[in-house]
Structure 1
Amino acid sequence: MSQPAQRGQPMFILAEDTERTQGDDAQSSNIQAGKAVSNTVRSTLGPRGMDKMLVSDSGDVVITNDGATILEEMDIEHPAAQMIVEVSSTQEEEVGDGTTTAAVLSGELLSRAEDLLDDDVHPTAIVEGYHEASRIAQETIDEHVVDGTVDDEQLTQVAVTSMTGKGTGDIGAEPLAETVVDAIRMVETDGVDRDSVDVRTQKGASSSATELIEGIISEEEPVHENMPTNVEDASIAVLDVDLEVRESNIDAEYNVSSVDQLNAALDAEANELREYADTLIDSGVDVAFITGDVDDRVGSSLATEDVLAFESVSDDEAESIARATGSSLVGTIDDLEADDLGSADRVRVEKFGEDELAFIEGGSNAEAVTVFVRGGTDHFTDELERALNDGLDVVTAAIEKGGVVAGAGAIEIAIADAIRQEAASVTGRKQLAVEAFADALDVLPRTLATNAGMDPIDALVELRSTHDSNGIAGIIVEGQNGRVTDPLEAGVLDPAAVKREAIESATEAATMITRIDDVISAS
């Protein structure tokens, strides 16, 4: 029997291979990790932000300045650094943009917290001060929301602000922004059905060939080469079946003793396949989307009757086509009735290089739309797809989540000013944290100025001075130069929801990391 530990003797409760970091060392390690992640994406912020090239172990290359994509592709192991990645992911999921803003602000809040810790300010005081400052920030955002209903012109400005500098290519951000607003308006009824807007990419042309399709694009090819490639006023069937010879569920052997028996078996098989084709033809189907496989003989029969059919359609795509065209997803071909058919103004098949795409346009329930993105290379179309998705998300946020505010760093200057004014009423060392929060917000306009080629200190001084005199000031990039002016007049707008979410998530991450004083890890 083991003897109890004597008083004064150490008791070991952790395994021998456990590593433990405590106190200042733990706080410093976590803060440095968070700052490192933040600094990685800092140079990508704003319309003049730089791109990152990310190369995986397998040699796959991603070129982007999208903060969420960069952090997602990076192989980050440090748990505190992963919290910054989670901030970016949350920002992307909630409002679709502002991921770099949230990550940069998180890192700067940690940097300011580090200075306070060095001055012997307790972590609890820092956390309380940060939360107080965050509350003031949210109130200030609400006060600066542009009055009135957000109109199409403002939505276009919101989309342009989001997409400028994100690989919009020769077409520029404004025409794409107009496409984005048109797409969102087409799926807006009581609210915006963002899931009904899809973005599809196809290389082989310039970005100016990007277009808005009122309907759905499928990557599946026709079953038979002789099928029509353009069907007007089409009746649509969506089938969750296999149009092949049915196989027995049990193992069985058949003895064929004559040619007549073999011919009879082949005839029965041919008749079964012919019945599949006849059922579709007799029901008045012009175009069929089938999740299963289609026998070549069925495809040939359908082609003879000018019926266009697609096989191996994914379940998600089949459901989308059914919703867009008003079709019913039918599980047995014998159950197919006229009421199960949907319709579309046009179904066309176009060839792009070696690829064929099917365009289902103007369905009877055509609430689904697709932004068809063109570009010269895969890297370019991928980045343009990310930019368009951000644009779609911010326009949706502007409509549904509380309007728009001035962009270009103006709202951050206004928030920092409001926080400094109220900091005097905060008692104790918590006041230092409130003031540090305001200083941390300056990193966003400072970074915008740096990336625009301006002197960050001079720009910040001019921003504060112009804000004090005019009530609003931001950094507007024109050509290769940046200047301080009114972003509302320049048409630079951000959804208020993006700013609210960035401040809230950055505050949560920074305060959580600051409170950690003990890291225990086991191999």
Structure 2
Amino acid sequence: MAQLGGQPILILSEGSRRTVGRDAQRMNITAGRVVAEAVRTTLGPKGMDKMLVDNLGDVVITNDGATILGEMDIQHPAAKMLVEVSKAQEDEVGDGTTTAVVIAGELLKRAEDLLDQDIHPTVIVRGYKLGNEKAQEVLGKIGENISSEDRKSLENIAITAMTGKSAERASEPLAKLAVDAVLRVADKVDGKLKIDKDNVKVEKKQGGSIADSELILGVIIDKERVHSGMAEHVKNAKVALLDAAIEIKETETDAEIQITDPSKLKDFLDQEEKMLKDMVEKVKKSGANVLFCQKGIDDVAQHYLAKAGIFAVRRAKKSDMEKLARATGGRVVSSLEDLSEKDLGHAGNVEEKKIAGEKMVFVTDCKNPKAVSILIRGGTDHVVDEVNRALDDAIGGVTAALEVGKIVGGGGSVEMEVAKHVKDYAQQVGGREQLALNAFAEAIESIPRALAENAGLDPIDVLVNLRSVHEKSGNKWMGIDVFDGKTKNMFDLGVIEPLKIKTQAIKSASEAAEMILRIDDVISAKSGGGGGAPGGMPGGMPGGEEGGEYE
């Protein structure tokens, strides 16, 4: 509300709330920090797990940052921006989500100290931008090269990604599966490896142990054959992929057929049956002995397919059809008229198996499959889900390493090296930006600090040792071994990560912090239960004023 000549002027609707200046900044910073604190304890090999219970009572137990933030019912708009940081990291790399959010939260925390010293937000933002640019430059220089031939390093990347998760006890066999899968689906384009993670299909089935998980050189389809009269196992399969229904089409316009004579009804039904038989004949004529249909298959057609010795699956997902095409070398055909021998894919075996009480179709022994499947096993659904998340991180890490072709040391070594260079750079910049650059460097150091805290070590001693080693020895890969608390060379221990995890985490964390710091006015519209600023959030989210919530 403003006042002009004694007359109040209402600008916002009744019930709206507005928080301005330092209050708005403090509220947003606190919200972001609380989100970061929620996942901070999950970082590293000795990170703890979170149990998330939704309103239906379903339980998720995990220490995967993206999953935790995705499951939390976060209402605060600034806090949601940190969730977006984790989503960006997950989509872009597949691993390092916790790292990105922890750095973003620490950048906000350090910024609050600077704001208390009356340093203007735009100065802090400018300093953070300079820090981000310097960090990206340093990371680009210090990354070590890696190629698809360096299998040992690729497996170490996968193991590092899974360390600290419940799948860790079977990390070596799972790492081999992840590396095999990624190398199988990799395509070389203009001398560079291009990898689509979607071509690695993961199927989860409860039962057995984690060690029973296996890589299938082909595709697993979570469907069963359409007719019990069909063979359960087909060798030397010629696979037809059909995106059309083997059913009688209904007329597009309203039509009515009048039958006055009972014999005519029989003729009509016989004609329908003949049409279905002709469709099956077209499949048989192509030479196919296995059919995957994206749409429906009529019961009568199922009978004729079984008589013709053709193994058939109906209503396969579009994504599965695409994977089948890549795995078998076949082509998805949209019309039965166009189906010919040259459209068929080939597989050594197509078999229906019962896994954990459910029937699934395995298309295996493909010659040069560009789509593969991993079947995950585990004692309970919670274990299987967590193994799936760990494997997803491992596949993302190996993919990121191969696509960029650069790796760095883990255990906080790369963060300490970047922080050292940013601090040196701050001396050159001078002015108030120097304070922001130093704050940026300290925020990067929050990663080794969190690793030490989560391992029950003294974070101050650990950081002092690491700084000293990086300054004196010049060995950029010296990090913290959380199992004995000593400073060691991470490459010697096999603790390595893709460069892309670090570049993306620092970039997205910095950009999110900069955006939050530039906000000095929060105007919240009236909500269902009365107006209010984005405070009083459910789930213990911090905030400013009472009332109101963001939907």
Aligned to 1:474: 479
Distance 2:229 2:65 in 1: 47
Counterpart in the other structure of 1:93: 91
TM-score, normalised with respect to structure 1: 0.94
Q: Would you say the 8 A contact 2:195–2:403 is kept in 1?
A: no
Greater displacement, 46-55 / 26-35 = 46-55
Taking the aligned partners of 1:508 and 1:389, their CA distance within structure 2 comes to 25
Which piece of structure 1 moves more, 354-363 or 74-83?
A: 354-363
Q: Which residue of 2 aligns with 1:189?
A: 187
CA offsets, 1:397-416, max 9 Å, x none? 11112400111100111111
Counterpart secondary structure, 1:334: helix
Assess if the C-alpha contact under 8 Å between 2:241 and 2:292 holds in 1: yes
Confirm or deny that 1:420 pairs with 2:418: no
Aligned in 2, Cα 1:468/1:368: closer, same or farther, shift over 3 Å?
A: same
Question: SS in structure 2 opposite 1:244?
Answer: coil
CA contact (8 A) 1:181 1:395 kept: yes
1:179: which partner in 2? Answer: 177
**Cα RMSD for the two superposed structures:** 2.0
For 2:450, the aligned partner's letter is T
What residue is the counterpart of 1:143 in the other structure? 141
Counterpart of 1:506 (choices 495, 506, 509) is 509
- TM-score with structure 2 setting the length: 0.89
Residue 61 of structure 2 is matched in structure 1 by 63
SS of the equivalent of 1:453 reads coil
Q: Is the 8 A contact 2:205 2:356 kept in 1?
A: no
Cα distance, 1:142 vs. partner? 2.2
Could you say what secondary structure the match of 1:347 adopts?
strand
Q: 1:243 to 1:81 in 2, by over 3 A?
A: same
Contact 1:342/1:364 (8 A) holds in 2? no
Deviation at 1:319, TM superposition (A): 2.7
Pair 1:378-2:381 in alignment: yes
Identify the match of residue 494 of structure 1 among 494, 497, 516: 497
Structure 1 SS opposite 2:360: strand
Is 1:168 aligned with 2:167? yes
Question: In structure 1, the residue corresponding to 2:166 is in which secondary structure?
Answer: coil
Distance 1:508 1:353 in 2: 46
User: How far apart are 1:429 and its partner, in Å?
Assistant: 1.4
- In the alignment, the residues of structure 1 paired with residue 425 and residue 48 of structure 2 have an alpha-carbon distance, to the nearest angstrom, of 36
Q: What is aligned with 1:355? A: 358
The Cα shift of 1:207 comes to 0.8
Asked whether the 8 Å contact 2:376–2:384 carries over to 1, the reply is yes
Displacement after TM superposition at 1:90 (Å): 0.9
The correspondence for 2:486, drawn from 477, 483, 490, is 483
Cα deviation for residue 365 of structure 1 reads 5.6
Match status 1:254 vs 2:258 = yes
Instruction: Check the 8 A contact 2:145/2:405 in 1, yes or no.
Output: no
Which amino acid in 2 is paired with 1:174? Answer: E
> Distance in 1 between the 2:52 and 2:131 partners?
36
State the match for 1:330 in structure 2. Answer: 333
CA distance in 1: counterparts of 2:81 and 2:251, whole angstroms = 54
**Contact 2:147–2:405, Cα closer than 8 Å, also in 1:** no
Structure 1 range deviating more: 468-477 or 408-417: 468-477
Partner AA of 1:181 in structure 2: V
Residue in structure 1 matched with residue 435 of structure 2 by the alignment: 432
* Counterpart residue number, 1:22: 20
> What is the CA distance between 1:160 and its match in structure 2?
0.9
Describe how 1:203-242 pairs up with structure 2 within 5 A: 203-242=206-245
Aligned CA distance change for structure 1 residues 483 and 302 (closer, same or farther; 3 Å): same
1:408 and 2:411 are equivalent in the alignment: yes
Give the Cα separation in 2 of the matches to 1:304 and 1:11. Answer: 83
Query: Partner of 1:153 in structure 2?
Result: 152
Per-residue deviation, 1:431: 1.1
Q: How far did residue 385 of structure 1 move?
A: 1.1
Distance 1:130 1:416, change over 3 A: same
| Equivalent AA in structure 1 for residue 185 of structure 2 | V
Instruction: For 1:516 and 1:278, locate their aligned partners in 2 and report how far apart those are by CA, in whole Å.
Output: 68
Structure 2 CA distance for aligned equivalents of residues 336 and 255 of structure 1: 35
CA contact (8 A) 2:294 2:318 kept: yes
- Residue 42 of structure 2 corresponds to 44
Consecutive unaligned residues in structure 2, runs of 5 or more? 527-551
| CA drift at 1:468 | 2.8
CA deviations over 1:208-229 (Å, ceiling 9, x no partner): 1111111111111100112112
Q: Which residue of 1 aligns with 2:533?
A: none
Q: Deviations over 1:384-443 (max 9, x none)?
A: 111111111111111112400111100111111122222222222111111111122221
What letter is aligned with 2:32? G
What's the secondary structure of 1:117's corresponding residue? helix
The number of residues matched between the two structures is 516
Q: CA deviation digits over 1:246-294, x for unaligned, max 9? A: 4344331423433x33333333233223223333223321100112222
**Which residue number corresponds to residue 293 of structure 1?**
296
SS at match of 1:54: strand
Q: Which amino acid aligns with 2:86?
A: S
Please tell me the residue identity of whatever aligns with 1:93.
Answer: D
Question: Structure 1 stretch 34-43 or stretch 457-466: which is displaced more?
Answer: 457-466
What corresponds to 2:103 in structure 1?
105
Question: In 2, are the aligned partners of 1:170 and 1:206 still within 8 Å (CA)?
Answer: no
For the residues of structure 1 that align with 2:359 and 2:118, how far apart are their CA atoms? Answer: 66
Residue 170 of structure 1: CA displacement?
4.2
| Stretch moving more, 129-138 or 146-155 | 146-155
How far apart are 1:148 and its partner, in Å? 5.9
